[in-house]
């Protein structure tokens, strides 16, 4: 078959000058330029190599740009997290929340139905858990929420608190075990861990007679009791 | 690449690969029909492989300080989907061997091979659903969304390659090839594991699009090296028939370079050969194309480009993960760009 009879994609629209592989990108904010990338690879810089990498940068720049444009078109929000960041416009019947499905193949339709079912299921489950997501769409602000931890300490002596929360702990209902001493001292029973939205509040009360030492306890999920982190208190 | 770095990469691939496979087999049912389905579902995973994809996912999550068990189920799913895609790829490419043994469709027939691939894809959903118990519903659902996107990207990339071969497209340029590799190879091999590892490790606090560049350059270098090994590798270590890509008419960087530099007569002979059915391509023609690639420096050129892409991957790594505290897993990630172009 001759090449003239082949489907041809429209020529790519370059949003900026093709990046020289040794220079910083023109249209994407970056923290630095890859001046040392060839020396770190142990490869000699030459025209052939430079052209190859330049082409690769042009390809990935264009791919990213199309994705960002598609995301802006669909959500009018360039900061939305990356799910829609590819060029979904090129996908007939691409995922279209609230807009139904366009013509597409059965597997894609199944995949999208599946995702919608999972969202509905997740929302339904969330309704039974106090303090779970308040909105209909649990993903709406997922990218903009980093977990924060607030620590309240009530003590007459110097105390150091370290909390190690495993991934996902900030979206679980939590409970703290009593903090047991490494030695024979009495445990600290008054530690509590409460999740409030995307904030985890840790409260530790240390009595005047609490012996100096290191006290440790697991933070567990209320729902199934699995360990969600560790709490360490050092009383000096 | 120092011997220490090489040893570290081998050690982590072995460690995380064993952990992944141990859990993976727990997700494979031991029920009927065994002969025509479930025994075969376990076939490709049992043949081994480097476990590069699950290891990348686990190491990325661990580089953020996350315990291995938080990434293990997702790593299992990635490995299952990879094997499922290999079964289907082997059918589509008419490949004869996989990991040193006859390809699934050669041994069991095309219909059964396709069904086994389908089942392995579906089984890969179970560990992702069970993520909910350890990662919580939000992260788990985001991983499902990421998996759906990866599957789409991979199928789109495969569509490019299959279409080019079916229609004997010969004017594929380097940018076309790289876009195809970005979708077909990089999304499953490097971008997806990197994104998922980062999602689990950073709990959604990092924009995952930042992983695309690192994954693209690493994956593209990986693919070109794979294509080079197909021409020049050790047949036993490689596990597939050498020069199989030429026989299958794959548009590799070497073939694109050759088509751009060959004389008109040579170009016509190549096009004629590529227009034939796979089985009709003569051994003499395959050897001649390989000889022309060597003569025109196409293999040397592709190797240089792979080196350049690996360098770019190292740069993108420093931008993406450079701020993380030093660890064995971070060292592993940092060593991967050189490893992918040195492996054999």
Closest chain B CA to residue A133: B138
SS3 B141: helix
User: Which among B41, B84, B159, B37 has a CA at the least distance from the CA of A105?
Assistant: B159
Distance CA B255, CA B289 (A): 9
Closest chain A CA to residue B215: A60
**Nearest residue, CB atoms, A166 vs list B67, B209, B309:** B67
In this prediction, residue A118 carries a pLDDT of 55
Question: Do A200 and A176 meet the contact criterion of CB atoms below 8 Å apart?
Answer: no
The sign of the dihedral angle between the CA atoms of B190, B191, B196, B201 is: positive
A52 in B contact zone (CB under 8 Å): yes
- Average pLDDT taken over every residue of chain B: 93
Which of A22, A31, A53, A95 should be substituted to probe chain B, the one whose Cβ sees the most B Cβ atoms within 10 Å?
A: A53
Q: Can you tell me the mean pLDDT for A184-208?
A: 84
Q: Is A143 within 8 Å of B204 when comparing Cβ atoms?
A: yes
Residues of chain A neighbouring B134 (CB-CB closer than 8 A): 168, 226
A31 in B contact zone (CB under 8 Å): yes
**Nearest residue, CB atoms, B203 vs list A21, A114, A147:** A147
Q: Is B179 within 8 Å of A59 when comparing Cβ atoms?
A: yes
Question: Do A215 and A181 meet the contact criterion of CB atoms below 8 Å apart?
Answer: yes
Burial (0-12, 13-18, 19+ Cβ within 10 Å), A110: exposed
Q: Does residue A105 surpass a pLDDT of 70?
A: no
pLDDT band, residue A78 (cuts 50/70/90): very low
Which of A1, A21, A54, A59 should be substituted to probe chain B, the one whose Cβ sees the most B Cβ atoms within 10 Å?
A: A59
Task: Indicate the helix (H) or strand (E) that contains A180.
Answer: strand A180-181
Q: Can you tell me the mean pLDDT for A90-106?
A: 37
| Angle between the N-to-C axes of helices B253-261 and B283-295, in degrees from 0 to 180, rounded to the nearest 10 | 80
Tokens, residue B239: 């596990």
Distance CA A212, CA A232 (A): 13
CA distance A178 to chain B (A): 22
User: Which among A96, A218, A89, A232 has a CA at the least distance from the CA of A159?
Assistant: A232
Question: Do B78 and B53 meet the contact criterion of CB atoms below 8 Å apart?
Answer: yes
Burial (0-12, 13-18, 19+ Cβ within 10 Å), A205: middle
Q: Which residues 91-120 in chain A show a CB within 8 A of chain B?
A: 91, 108, 111, 114-115, 118-119
DSSP string, A128-159: TSTTS--SS-TTTTGGG---EEEEEEE-SS-E
Question: Do A199 and A161 meet the contact criterion of CB atoms below 8 Å apart?
Answer: no
Q: Length of chain B in residues, anyone?
A: 344
CB atoms closer than 10 angstroms to residue A229: 22
HSE toward the beta carbon, residue A1, CA cutoff 13 A: 13
Residues of chain A neighbouring B136 (CB-CB closer than 8 A): 168-169, 171-172
Q: Is A41 within 8 Å of B307 when comparing Cβ atoms?
A: yes
In this prediction, residue B340 carries a pLDDT of 94
By DSSP bridging, strand A180-181 and strand A192-196 are unpaired
Q: Is A48 within 8 Å of B301 when comparing Cβ atoms?
A: yes
Tokens, residue B307: 């080196």
Q: Could you give phi then psi for residue A15, rounded to 5 degrees?
A: -80, -15
Which residues are CB-neighbours of B256 under 8 A, at least 6 positions away?
B172, B173, B174, B177
CA of A9: how far to CAs of A16, B160, B173, in Å? 20, 11, 13
Residues of chain B neighbouring A146 (CB-CB closer than 8 A): 203-205
Percent of chain B having pLDDT more than 90? Answer: 78
Distance CA B42, CA A106 (A): 27
Q: Length of chain A in residues, anyone?
A: 236
SS3 A213: strand
Question: Do B8 and B332 meet the contact criterion of CB atoms below 8 Å apart?
Answer: yes
In this prediction, residue B17 carries a pLDDT of 97
Instruction: Summarize pLDDT for B126-176 with one digit per residue, the tens.
Output: 999 999 888 988 899 999 999 999 999 999 999 999 999 999 998 899 999
Q: Does residue B260 surpass a pLDDT of 70?
A: yes
Number of helices (H), then strands (E), in chain A: 3, 8
The ipTM assigned to this model is 0.85
Distance CA B264, CA B270 (A): 10
Q: Does residue A128 surpass a pLDDT of 70?
A: no
CA distance A50 to chain B (A): 7
Q: Is A59 within 8 Å of B205 when comparing Cβ atoms?
A: no
In this prediction, residue B242 carries a pLDDT of 67
Residues of chain A neighbouring B213 (CB-CB closer than 8 A): 60, 64
Which residues are CB-neighbours of B226 under 8 A, at least 6 positions away?
none
In this prediction, residue A28 carries a pLDDT of 39
CA distance A130 to chain B (A): 15
CB atoms closer than 10 angstroms to residue A77: 10
ω into residue B64 within 30 of 0, thus cis? no
**Nearest residue, CB atoms, A30 vs list B137, B204, B319:** B319
Which of B138, B251, B276, B302 should be substituted to probe chain A, the one whose Cβ sees the most A Cβ atoms within 10 Å?
A: B138
SS3 B173: coil
CA distance B117 to chain A (A): 14
Q: Is A147 within 8 Å of B137 when comparing Cβ atoms?
A: no
| Size of the A and B interface in Cβ pairs below 8 Å | 169
In the beta sheet, which residues pair with residue A192?
A203
Distance CA B77, CA B82 (A): 8
Q: Does residue B205 surpass a pLDDT of 60?
A: yes
DSSP string, A181-204: ESSSSPPB---EEEEETTEEEEEE
Distance of CA A155 to the CA centre of its chain: 36
A123 in B contact zone (CB under 8 Å): no
In this prediction, residue A215 carries a pLDDT of 92
SS3 A73: helix
Q: Is A167 within 8 Å of B200 when comparing Cβ atoms?
A: yes
Q: Does residue B85 surpass a pLDDT of 90?
A: yes
Q: Is A1 within 8 Å of B178 when comparing Cβ atoms?
A: no
Q: Does residue B215 surpass a pLDDT of 50?
A: yes
Higher per-residue confidence, B199 vs A18 = B199
Residues of chain A neighbouring B168 (CB-CB closer than 8 A): 1
């Amino acid at each position: 078959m001759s090449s003239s009879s082949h489907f041809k994609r429209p020529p790519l629209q370059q949003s900026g000058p093709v990046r020289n592989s040794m220079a910083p990108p023109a249209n994407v904010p970056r923290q630095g330029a890859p001046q040392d990338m060839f020396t770190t690879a142990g490869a000699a810089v030459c025209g052939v190599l430079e052209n190859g990498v330049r082409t690769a940068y042009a390809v990935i720049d264009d791919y990213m740009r199309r994705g960002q444009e598609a995301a802006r078109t669909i959500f009018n929000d360039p900061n939305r997290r990356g799910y829609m960041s590819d060029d979904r416009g090129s996908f007939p019947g691409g995922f279209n929340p609230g807009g139904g499905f366009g013509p597409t193949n059965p597997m894609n339709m199944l995949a999208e139905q599946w995702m919608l079912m999972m969202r509905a299921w997740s929302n339904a489950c969330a309704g039974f858990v106090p303090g779970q997501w308040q909105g209909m769409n649990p993903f709406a602000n997922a990218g903009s929420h980093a977990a924060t931890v607030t620590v309240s300490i009530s003590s007459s002596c110097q105390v150091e608190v370290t909390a190690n929360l495993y991934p996902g702990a900030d979206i679980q209902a939590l409970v703290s075990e009593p903090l047991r001493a490494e030695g024979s001292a009495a445990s600290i029973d008054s530690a509590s861990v409460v999740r409030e939205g995307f904030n985890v509040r840790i409260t530790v009360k240390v009595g005047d007679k609490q012996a100096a030492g290191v006290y440790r306890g697991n933070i567990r999920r209320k729902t199934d009791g699995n360990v969600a982190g560790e709490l360490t208190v050092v009383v000096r | 690449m120092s011997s220490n770095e090489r040893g570290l990469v081998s050690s982590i691939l072995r460690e995380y690969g064993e952990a992944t496979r141990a859990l993976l087999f727990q997700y494979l049912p031991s029920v009927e029909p065994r002969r025509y389905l479930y025994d075969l579902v376990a076939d490709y995973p049992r043949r081994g492989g480097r476990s590069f994809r699950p290891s990348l996912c686990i190491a990325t999550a661990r580089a953020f300080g996350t315990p291995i068990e938080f990434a293990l189920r997702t790593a299992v799913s990635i490995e299952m989907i990879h094997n499922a895609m290999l079964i289907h790829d082997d059918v589509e490419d008419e490949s004869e061997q996989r990991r040193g043994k006859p390809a699934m469709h050669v041994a069991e027939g095309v219909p059964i091979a396709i069904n086994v691939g389908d089942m392995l894809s579906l089984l890969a959903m179970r560990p992702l659903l069970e993520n909910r118990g350890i990662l919580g519903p939000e992260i788990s659902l985001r991983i499902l969304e990421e998996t759906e996107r990866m599957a789409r990207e991979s199928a789109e990339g495969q569509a490019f390659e299959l279409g080019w071969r079916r229609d004997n497209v010969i004017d594929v340029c380097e940018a076309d090839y790289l876009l195809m590799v970005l979708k077909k190879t990089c999304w499953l091999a490097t971008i997806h594991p990197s994104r998922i590892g980062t999602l689990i490790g950073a709990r959604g606090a990092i924009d995952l699009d930042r992983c695309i560049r690192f994954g693209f350059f690493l994956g593209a270098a990986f693919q070109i090296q794979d294509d080079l090994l197909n021409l020049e590798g050790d047949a036993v270590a490689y596990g597939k028939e050498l020069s199989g890509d030429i026989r299958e008419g794959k548009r590799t960087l070497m073939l694109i370079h050759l088509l751009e530099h060959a004389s008109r007569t040579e170009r016509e002979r190549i096009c004629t050969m590529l227009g034939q059915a796979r089985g009709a391509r003569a051994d003499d023609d395959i050897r001649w194309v390989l000889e022309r690639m060597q003569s025109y420096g196409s293999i040397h050129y592709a190797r240089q480009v792979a080196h350049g892409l690996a360098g770019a991957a190292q740069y993108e790594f420093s931008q993406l993960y450079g701020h993380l505290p030093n660890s064995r897993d971070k060292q592993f990630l940092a060593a991967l760009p050189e490893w992918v172009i040195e492996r054999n």
